Amino acid sequence: MVKIIVTQSGSQQAIARLREQAKGDEVVVVDREGRPLDGGDLSDAEVFMRSWSPPTVTETVMKQAPRLKWMHTPSAGLDQVLFPALVESDIVLTNSSGVHAMPISEWVILYVLAAAKRLPELLAAQRERRWAQDLKLQELTDKTLLILGYGAIGREVAKRALPFGMKVIAARSGSKGKDDERQAGVEIVYGSEAWRGVLPRADFVVVSLPLTEQTRGVVNAAAFTALKPTAWFINIARGEIADEDALLRALQEGRIAGAGLDAFGEEPLPSNHPLYSLPESKVLLTPHISWNSPQVGERTLDLFLENLRRYKSGEPLLNVVDKRAGY
């Protein structure tokens, strides 16, 4: 029998399904501050399935569960998960990389189509009861999409862009990966700085990198300067990966055509932020919602249950992350 800790803030349907699927194992629920409910004991728990809770809750759980061996997070990114005690511990950490890739990649295509077909201006004309047939629209055929970060999300973005006839370039920070050849038609550049050399070719730049010390602010003023004035910048990862001030200047000065942003350095985005002052034709702002889908929760629990099976049978776990690298 394995004792599994889950948080009360998680989906009640997911907790009920976990209890049903993990028969023979003990499930202990902790409240939103990490304290066990109904007199539960965490001292011999081995597994923690955390929810979207702050690191302080994880710290509280860890202090009560000295035998903890494996922790799973529903997020793909780890910037809101890691803290020194967890990094230094022997606890194996797995993430939910891949479960959000489908809705996020669809959101990217939403931004791309909205920009090419000038949807914001058309919606504005509809509100104004104006016949805006003079707008000049673009096709996606032969447009170049540059994806920064060719992980699960990046691959799904490429998969959806290729049928539109787009030219897809993907940037990987490391060496060739085992899945790189599976997606025909994608040009891949390797190395942490190689993507900068292809920026002038890009009509759309999509950020799908994890936030680490190496990627913080990596899309800087020089990167925006290298883009063509008709290019669009899309960020569905973390706001801190881009220099937000440099992006704002590039938009205000017309050095790039526009931006689709679902991630910001400060969230919620303050109501007085200057990005709100830009016209909708230049910037599409959404509240970090691109991951949202009913299927995400189901896929997250499916992944956890598969890993629970592997954990109990001594098989390697899926999505084990490098805590020191941050991904």
Is 288 catalytic? The answer is yes
- The catalytically annotated residue of 88, 139, 193, 267 is 267
Distance CA 48, CA 57 (A): 11
Residue pair 244/264 in contact by the 8 Å Cβ criterion: yes
User: Which one of 172, 238, 240, 244 is the catalytic residue?
Assistant: 238
Amino acid present at 18: L
In the chain, the N- to C-terminal Cα span, in Å, equals: 30
User: Which residue in 288, 298, 306, 310 is the catalytic one?
Assistant: 288
Cα gap 301→246, rounded to integer Å? 39
Long-range contacts: 6-13, Cβ < 8 Å, 24+? 6/30, 6/48, 6/49, 6/51, 7/31, 7/32, 7/34, 7/49, 7/50, 7/51, 7/53, 7/57, 8/32, 8/37, 9/51, 9/52, 9/53, 10/49, 10/51, 10/74, 11/297, 13/297
Q: Is 299 a catalytic residue?
A: no
Question: What is the rounded CA–CA span in Å between residue 272 and residue 278?
Answer: 12
Q: Which residue's entry shows tokens 């937000």? A: 244
244 is catalytic: no
Q: Which residues are designated catalytic?
A: 238, 267, 288
